[in-house]
Amino acid sequence: MMPRISTPRSSNVRGFPSRRGSPGTSTVGLGGGQASSSRTCSSVPLTVEQRGRALGHFRRFLRQRVVNLERLTLADLTFNVVLLRANATMLELCDAETLLRYRLAQHVERGSVTAFGTTLQTISKDIAGHATGVAGADIMLVRNNRRYYIQVKSGPHTANRDIAQNIGALLNSARARDPDAVCMFGVCYARPDQISAIVKGQLQRAGVGLRVGREFWEFISGDAECLNELLGLAGEAAGEAPPGEASFAERVEQKLDSLVAEFSGRYGRTLDDQAWAFFLADNS
């Protein structure tokens, strides 16, 4: 069986220490040599409606993962056979089952990254609660009669120098119409030190602030524990296998059996030189 990661079923995850001194204080770095603007507010937990909508987004993401897994065939997997043989030798993957377990685990993990990033971005827009027609801004917040236009990206590697430059130009077009507006770039998951120095510099030169990970979620929600609550909701959704249905881990094992049978019928169960030669011929 592929290893499972145990996640708390309760969606009320609390007690994680804040990375900053006071959970109710947030500092907005404007960049571009401008002074920082601070806001102080009481931490307000997500509403029942916000939690319900987030849980629904997680459920839809997970249901689609099941659909994608059920449809998967050997032909759908992309194989770099030369690299795969090198890895198989180093990791001592000596038969069809161990090889395909390794490749299927890669596929399951990588296939979820983009889709889950989109899910997090959607949840952030729901939590912020303000749509915006401003180019480059996914979220618009109002704090003390001041507008904050925020572009949202899922993770630290979804922005490069050109994207950061373009986002800065787009958001600043909004500030041209509203000089008191604050332009920001929000990243759903990561640590601040994982954001490229090039991206940070580009945003700073454009006068665009940066919020990353826990700090981003606290800013848009007003809840210092927002990210912890989302952690719990994701675990709750992932643990909801309907009665009588196989869990996702069980479905992965069933799919592995199917892929091994398909592979073995074509190349044999033993990864000898002949099997690798036929495998390469079919994937090149």
pLDDT tens profile 194-231: 999 989 998 888 889 999 999 999 999 999 999 999 99
- Mean pLDDT for 63-91 is 94
The H or E element that residue 147 is part of is strand 146-153
The pair of structure tokens assigned to 10 is: 């309760």
* CATH code, 275: 1.10.3250
User: Residue 246: inside a domain, yes or no?
Assistant: yes
Q: What is the pLDDT of residue 131?
A: 64
Asked whether residue 156 falls in the same domain as residue 188, the answer is: yes
Looking at 199, 224, 249, the residue that finishes a domain is 224
Pick from 149, 156, 167: nearest CA to 206: 167
User: Domains in the chain: how many in total?
Assistant: 2
Asked whether residue 85 falls in the same domain as residue 165, the answer is: no
User: Residue 183: inside a domain, yes or no?
Assistant: yes
User: Residue 42: inside a domain, yes or no?
Assistant: no
pLDDT digits (tens, 9 = 90+) for 255-284: 999 999 999 999 998 899 999 999 999 999
Q: What is the pLDDT of residue 261?
A: 96
The pair of structure tokens assigned to 144 is: 């003390």
Dihedral sign (CA 17, 217, 206, 114): positive
Contact 123, 112 (CB under 8 A): no
pLDDT digits (tens, 9 = 90+) for 147-184: 999 989 989 887 777 777 777 777 777 777 888 889 99
Amino acid, res. 269: R
Asked whether residue 211 falls in the same domain as residue 263, the answer is: no
User: Residue 229: inside a domain, yes or no?
Assistant: no
Q: What is the pLDDT of residue 43?
A: 56
Asked whether residue 66 falls in the same domain as residue 144, the answer is: no
pLDDT digits (tens, 9 = 90+) for 103-151: 999 998 887 888 898 999 999 999 987 666 777 788 888 888 889 999 8
User: Residue 19: inside a domain, yes or no?
Assistant: no
pLDDT digits (tens, 9 = 90+) for 14-72: 333 333 433 333 333 443 333 333 333 445 688 999 999 999 999 999 999 999 999 99
Asked whether residue 157 falls in the same domain as residue 172, the answer is: yes
The C-alpha atoms of residue 123 and residue 137 are separated, in whole angstroms, by 15
Asked whether residue 98 falls in the same domain as residue 138, the answer is: no
Q: What is the pLDDT of residue 214?
A: 96
Q: What is the pLDDT of residue 111?
A: 78
Structural domain including 262 reads 48-129+241-284
* CATH code, 173: 3.40.1560.10
The pair of structure tokens assigned to 251 is: 């479905």
Asked whether residue 110 falls in the same domain as residue 122, the answer is: yes
The C-alpha atoms of residue 171 and residue 186 are separated, in whole angstroms, by 13
The pair of structure tokens assigned to 32 is: 């571009």
The pair of structure tokens assigned to 159 is: 């922005």
Q: What is the pLDDT of residue 202?
A: 87
Asked whether residue 119 falls in the same domain as residue 80, the answer is: yes
User: Residue 92: inside a domain, yes or no?
Assistant: yes
Cross-sheet strand order for the sheet of 146-153: 139-143, 146-153, 182-187, 209-212
Asked whether residue 218 falls in the same domain as residue 274, the answer is: no
Question: Cβ contacts of residue 132 below 8 Å, gap of 6+?
Answer: 138, 139, 140, 149
Asked whether residue 97 falls in the same domain as residue 140, the answer is: no
Nearest 5°: the CA angle 72, 62, 258 is: 25
Asked whether residue 122 falls in the same domain as residue 145, the answer is: no
Q: What is the pLDDT of residue 281?
A: 96
User: Residue 276: inside a domain, yes or no?
Assistant: yes
Q: What is the pLDDT of residue 228?
A: 95
Question: Cβ contacts of residue 170 below 8 Å, gap of 6+?
Answer: 134, 135, 136, 137, 151
Identify the residue with better confidence: 246 or 232. Answer: 232
Pick from 65, 91, 103: nearest CA to 263: 103
User: Residue 11: inside a domain, yes or no?
Assistant: no
Asked whether residue 139 falls in the same domain as residue 125, the answer is: no
